[in-house]
Amino acid sequence: MGLDLSSDVVALTQAVVDIESVSRDEQELADAVEAALRRLSHLEVTRIGHSVVARTDLGRGERVVVAGHLDTVPLNHNLPSRNDGERLHGLGTCDMKGGVAVALRLAHDLTEPVRDVTYVFYEAEEIDDVYNGLGIVARERPDLVEADFAILMEPSDAVVEAGCQGTLRVEVRTRGERAHSARSWRGSNAVHAAGEVLRRLEQYVARTPVIDGLEYHEGLNAVAISGGVATNVIPDECVVTVNFRFAPDRSESEALVFVQEFFDGYDVVVTDSAPGALPGLQRPAARAFVEAVGGTVNPKFGWTDVARFTGLGVPAVNYGPGDPMLAHKQEEFVPLAQLRECEQTLRTWLGAVPQAGEAGA
Q: Which residues are tagged catalytic? A: 71, 125
Cross-strand partners of 171: 241, 269
Type and span of the H or E element at 13? helix 9-17
d(CA 36, CA 117): 17
Closest to 179 measured CA to CA, from 236, 217, 264: 236
DSSP secondary structure letters along 123-176: S--SS-GGG-HHHHHHHH-GGGG--SEEEE----TTSEEESB-EEEEEEEEEE-
CB contact at 8 A, 148 and 285: yes
d(CA 280, CA 256): 24
Longest C-alpha distance within the chain, in Å? 81
